[in-house]
Amino acid sequence: MDNRAVLNIDFEELPEDHKAIITKAAEEYREKCLMSYGRMHDKIIQKHSLPMVLLHGQRDPDDEAETKASADMVHKSVHDALRNHYETFLNTFHNIMKEVFHGAPINQRGPADYNILHPSTQGTNQVGTSQQGGQI
């Protein structure tokens, strides 16, 4: 459709249901604008700037900045957590991979976060390890 051929109309030409939609939106905007003002004794003051009118599909730059700041904070927190627990994570991951590929714990290393007693060591205080060098 070529929008250059579309003519503007007056509010009064709209069907009643469209008039109601526009009237409601205008009233909501008016209420938001009034929240920007306040009274100090007998003086009316503007507390903050009027709200921005956003067109369909447009985003508020303040919301975008807030969203970016929140995402940056989450990324930093995850990065710090991984950096602070890097060795524990790697040891745990290494131990899991050994069990997945070998079917049993082999020479567990690192903290005992994931060290599980092997059935062959039941009754002893040893962490389960298999013996390498041909004896399994």
71 within some domain = no
Domain span holding position 13 = 8-51
Look at residues 131, 85, 92 and name the one whose alpha carbon lies nearest to residue 109. 92
37 within some domain = yes
pLDDT value for 104: 67
pLDDT value for 22: 93
46 within some domain = yes
18 within some domain = yes
What whole-number distance in Å separates Cα of residue 107 and Cα of residue 103?
13
- Cα 113 to the chain's mean position, in Å? 29
35 within some domain = yes
Q: How many domains does the chain have?
A: 1
For residue 97, count CB atoms less than 10 angstroms from its CB and return exposed for 0-12, middle for 13-18, buried for 19 or more: exposed
122 within some domain = no
Digit-by-digit pLDDT tens for the chain (136 residues) are 677 788 889 999 999 999 999 999 999 999 999 999 999 989 999 998 888 777 777 777 777 777 888 888 888 888 887 777 777 777 777 778 877 877 766 666 555 444 455 555 445 444 444 444 444 4
pTM (two decimals): 0.39
